[in-house]
Amino acid sequence: MRQTSQISKLTSLRAGFAVLSIFALIGVSGAAFAADAAPMAAAPEAKAEVPGKPKVDPAAGEALYSNGDATRGVTACITCHGPKGQSAIGTWPKLSAQHAAYLTKQLKNFKEGTRANPIMMGMAATLTQEDMQNISAFLSKQPISQGVAQDKETIALGQSIYRGGIAAKGVPACAACHSPTGAGIPAQYPLLGGQWAEYSNAQLLAFREGVRTNSSQMTTIASKLSDKEMKAVADYIAGLH
């Protein structure tokens, strides 16, 4: 009986030891699993990369403006528009200090053919969107080129049209969009002050005759102006600053 009792006790001890071993193993495994899981839970979720807008590079724009790029057939703008966008004659517009968004739009219109000009359409054809933005950024940072009105006999008429419009014809004041000083509004209306009278007059004629069609607003306004009124306001604009 004593031997049987000892055997029973020994069996019980072994069973208890086995149970304790199982719990110990479960505890170790659980701790190990928790240790492995913790870093996974703490790891931040991967975020999809969003490509940023290309940075505008005025220096690259200056290089293209002044030297062009023979490898791509890009012609230097400086030949016609002058150093820093200050052209020497009224055949070519002054571009210095012009709003970058406006310049980019015009170059894009030339490339698309929505603004007709054989020379500029050919020039813009080889430009990328990035080129256009870079050139525009360079020109927008250049000092404004001022001018003077030449015709003393029409200054009063030009001033009247620019500042007050022509109510009888439904012509709005130019200053309403281009500002009293001709500075325009960035991304909306171009800088006009100091521009060559010859060039401004040519553009008004182009709008009126349907040669230039990339601004329905200007087409409507120009269609109501006489030759004399166009020349007067273009000359007045040349002296604005």
CATH number of 58-140: 1.10.760.10
Cβ(89)–Cβ(95) below 8 Å: no
Domain segments of the chain as ranges: 58-140, 155-238
Q: Which of 240, 232, 165 is nearest to 201 (CA)?
A: 232
Cβ(155)–Cβ(201) below 8 Å: no
**Digits of tens for pLDDT over the chain (241 positions)?**
444 444 344 344 344 434 334 333 334 334 333 334 334 444 445 445 445 566 999 999 999 999 999 999 999 999 999 999 999 999 999 999 999 999 999 999 999 999 999 999 999 999 999 999 999 999 999 999 999 999 999 999 999 999 999 999 999 999 999 999 999 999 899 999 999 999 999 999 999 999 999 999 999 999 999 999 999 999 999 999 9
Cβ(72)–Cβ(118) below 8 Å: no
Contacting residues for 33 by C-beta, under 8 A, at least 6 apart? none
74: helix, strand or coil: strand
CATH classification for the domain delimited by 155-238, as one of 1.20.140.150, 2.60.40.10, 2.40.50.1020, 1.10.760.10? 1.10.760.10
pTM: 0.77
Q: Note whether 58-140 and 155-238 share their fold.
A: yes
Where helices occur in the chain by DSSP H, the ranges are 2-42, 58-67, 78-81, 100-112, 118-124, 129-140, 155-164, 175-178, 197-209, 216-222, 227-238
Q: Measured between alpha carbons, how far is 31 from 145 in angstroms, rounded to an integer?
A: 77
DSSP sequence for 143-174: PP-------TTTHHHHHHHHHH-BGGGTBPPT
The two structure tokens encoding residue 45: 């979720």
